[in-house]
């Protein structure tokens, strides 16, 4: 008669096997089906994308904001999808404009003092799917970040813009490539 393994050994082997399966499935994409375990849903016939430089329609924005935002969105798609950049005959296209760059004072306190300031950035996005025109959409995306009443905007602007444009790129990406 063989020795019985202690219960903890069986559970350890089971947990180790499950961890291995989880590692193998992490980030796995089933090609040809348009499905990913990351939640990305790209039809199998869509292989290329193009992002036109966003226009600057916000009078108060920094001059480099449209270019920086366009590059952030390109990087997000390049690093998180299988799509290849193509500026001649893309399967999907993004165009748009930075439409708002606004600083407002929020949460007034007694004595008319400002509680904090808010920077809001908005972008208008046009998404064109050249393979399926029913998938086309236009949408305005906005996000804001806050800074203290005693902070100079020029001192915190770079960090605020980075935080806001990251969130905007995430939202646009999710609208284009997931079913959220």
Over residues 27-40, the pLDDT tens digits come to 443 333 333 345 78
Contact residues for 144 (Cβ-Cβ < 8 A; gap 6+) = 118, 119, 120, 121, 164
Confidence of residue 142 (pLDDT cuts 50, 70, 90): very high
Q: Tell me which DSSP letter residue 75 carries.
A: H
Cβ contact 77:169 at 8 Å: no
Q: Between these two residues, 22 and 140, which has the higher pLDDT value?
A: 140
**Residue 133 phi, psi (nearest 5):** -65, -20
Cβ contact 123:150 at 8 Å: no
Q: What is the pLDDT of residue 19?
A: 46
Domains, the chain, ordered by start:
45-177 (3.30.160.150)
pLDDT digits (tens, 9 = 90+) for 67-126: 999 999 999 999 999 999 999 999 999 999 999 999 998 876 666 666 889 999 999 999
Angle, alpha carbons 15-21-23 (nearest 5°): 105
Name the 3-class secondary structure at 49: strand
Q: What is the pLDDT of residue 105?
A: 86
- In the chain the first and final C-alpha atoms are separated, in Å, by 57
Average pLDDT of the chain is: 83
The alpha-helical segments, DSSP class H, found in the chain are 7-25, 65-80, 153-177
Cβ contact 98:122 at 8 Å: yes
HSE value, Cβ hemisphere, 13 Å, CA-based, for 171: 16
């Amino acid at each position: 008669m063989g020795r019985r393994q202690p219960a903890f050994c069986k559970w350890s082997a089971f947990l180790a096997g499950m961890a291995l399966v989880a590692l193998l499935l992490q980030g796995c994409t089933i090609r040809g089906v348009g499905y990913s375990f990351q939640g990305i849903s790209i039809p199998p016939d869509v292989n290329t994308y193009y992002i036109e430089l966003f226009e600057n329609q916000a009078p108060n924005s920094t001059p480099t904001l449209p270019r920086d935002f366009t590059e952030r969105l390109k990087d997000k798609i390049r690093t998180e999808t299988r799509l290849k950049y193509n500026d001649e005959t893309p399967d999907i296209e993004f165009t748009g404009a930075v439409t708002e760059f606004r600083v407002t004072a929020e949460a007034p306190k007694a004595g008319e003092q400002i509680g904090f300031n808010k920077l809001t950035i908005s972008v208008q996005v046009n998404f064109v799917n050249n393979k399926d025109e029913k998938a086309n959409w236009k949408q305005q995306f906005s996000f804001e970040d806050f800074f203290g009443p005693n902070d100079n905007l020029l001192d915190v602007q770079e960090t605020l813009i980075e935080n806001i444009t990251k969130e905007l790129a995430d939202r646009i990406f999710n609208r284009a490539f997931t079913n959220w």
